[in-house]
């Protein structure tokens, strides 16, 4: 098991790794819309989603992978009425990916730092 860390994504807000590599897979911790450079949570739902996706891209890039390698996505939404808007942003993010990853979306009461969304992914990067 190997921890993964990049300055291009925000530091964890607790005692955990940004991601961990195990047997050809990379498990990313849930990403919220924190801008790594500013250290602040973005305002607005769309901005938080887009920033979370940028954070995911940055972590994957740090191990030589990309969104094409994502096999599973788990989404935590504070407001399920935003499900349709999220689906549009999600479709844009994965528009160039031939095989779309599996996904689960869950409605939650609260997220860290008052975030509106948290996204975690599992990707296969090979041995």
Res 127: pLDDT: 62
pLDDT recorded at residue 126 = 83
Do 51 and 8 meet the contact criterion of CB atoms below 8 Å apart? Answer: no
Confidence bin at 13 (pLDDT 50/70/90): confident
User: What is the average per-residue pLDDT within 57-70?
Assistant: 97
**pTM metric for this prediction:** 0.95
Give bridge partners of residue 41 from the DSSP assignment. 34
The answer to whether 18 touches 9, Cβ cutoff 8 Å, is: yes
CA distances from 51 to 23, 36, 120 (A): 28, 9, 13
């Amino acid at each position: 098991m190997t921890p993964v860390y990049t300055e291009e994504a925000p530091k964890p807000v607790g005692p955990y790794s940004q991601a961990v590599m195990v047997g050809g897979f990379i498990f990313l911790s849930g990403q919220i819309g924190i801008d790594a450079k500013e250290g602040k949570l973005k305002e607005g739902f769309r901005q938080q989603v887009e920033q979370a996706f940028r954070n995911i891209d940055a972590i994957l890039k740090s191990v030589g992978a990309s969104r094409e390698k994502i096999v599973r996505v788990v989404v935590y939404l504070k407001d399920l009425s935003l499900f349709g808007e999220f689906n549009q942003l999600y479709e844009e993010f994965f528009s160039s990916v031939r095989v779309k990853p599996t996904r689960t979306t869950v409605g939650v009461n609260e997220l860290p730092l008052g975030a509106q969304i948290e996204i975690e992914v599992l990707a296969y990067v090979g041995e």
